[in-house]
Amino acid sequence: MVNKLESLNSRRGLMTALTAIAVVAVVGLLASFLVIGNAAQTVTTTEVTTVPTTVTSTAGSSMALSNVTTASSDQLNAEQIYAAANRSVVTLQGTQVESSYFGNEIDDILGSGFVVTYSGSDYIVTNYHVVQSTSNLTVTFSDGDAYPAKVVGSDPYSDLAIVSVPTAPSTEYFPLTLTSSSTLNVGDPVVAIGNPYGLTGSMTEGIVSQLGRTITDETAGNYTIANVIQFSAAINPGNSGGPLLNANGQVVGITTAAVTSSEGLGFAIPSDTIIEEMPSLIANGSYNLHSYLGISEVDMNYQLAQAAGANVTYGVLIESVVSGGPAATAGLQGGSQTVVVNGEQYLIGGDIIISVNGTRITTSDALGTYLEAHTVAGQTVSLGIIGPGDKYSTVTVTLGVRPAISS
């Protein structure tokens, strides 16, 4: 099957080309972290100091986020971080209706979340797949008190949701500090706190393994979630929505998925995405600025370059373009000839994207991450293209809005 850019990770056979689902059962290699079945009802949590600052969004608007900072330390003290952060982590529970051969079944669900403050009000940040189609949603705080909760806003394309707990008193809230994930480097120490399998307040420790990954999530309509943090701290079903913290105890990501039957292959949505989207999620209930190119693609490599008769061994080969989409409108071309390389079928003959706005693009991960981190829908970008006959050219493309997810 031909994969869509920003809709499917196109690097066939690689671990990042995975599918996340909002249940414990897994499809392919990737499991989203949401426990279904009987689960514990309480979680223990703890305070982290907040530092005022102003963050400018990609779209150019500024937002006052009272708990955003920049990281400075790389010496991690896990005991101190846990003591400070644990009571800020909450448990989300509810029910979901699942269709099966025997008809509709009601499943109990459990996930994690954490407290943040925005514009003087307290909210819970969690994953979209935790609250998607969830009824009877509740949030349980560290003292065991549980309250009805409601979803304020959500974005399936980033697997993010913002939840409010209107009847909870202010004494329940201990907001964590958000810091820019752009400060992260491979090798930085991190910890994850959540409720794996209902074991509330569990912490694991690891390092940032890589940055700028892409993963594929069914709840996102099989569009890729880009600019994802890969880390080595162990996470399991029930960790979904829990914070990923740096050495200063600040949130640098939100845990979302891991490779099944692996050790130390976890993924987190970066905090920069939370910071970017929170104003719109709270004010409008959604975020609609994800850019869309409208192509099906695959990573170039030496073997594929030989089969295609191309001199370039890096970049993104366009296999097809979506009719009427931004790429097609700009004149980009897809493939016209089918070949088999190492047992995989490809369409060759299309344009090869090797740069965006002068930034070298080596893989689909790099393309998706650049578009997610540096562009919004409606923005114009310059693509460096290798076309037929290995001719280099630049093509100007006005990025579109991602199509709505079909139900």
Coil vs helix vs strand at 152: strand
Rounded to an integer, what distance in angstroms lies between the CA atom of residue 133 and that of residue 156? Answer: 12
Give ∠ CA 195-199-205 in degrees, rounded to 5: 60
Residue 57 is among the residues annotated as catalytic for this protein = no
Tokens of 406: 């079909």
Options 159, 188, 217, 299, the catalytic residue: 159
CA dihedral defined by 176, 180, 185, 186, rounded to 10 degrees?
60
240 part of the active site? yes
Whether 159 sits among the annotated catalytic residues: the reply is yes
Q: Give strand pairing partners of 90.
A: 113
Closest by CA position to 130, among listed 165, 156, 99: 156
The catalytic position among 7, 240, 296, 364 is 240
What burial class does residue 260 get, using C-beta atoms within 10 Å of its C-beta: 0-12 exposed, 13-18 middle, 19+ buried?
middle
Q: Which candidate in 129, 202, 209, 217 is catalytic?
A: 129
Residue 281: its H or E element: helix 271-284
Q: Are 229 and 267 in contact (CB under 8 A)?
A: yes
Active site residues: 129, 159, 240
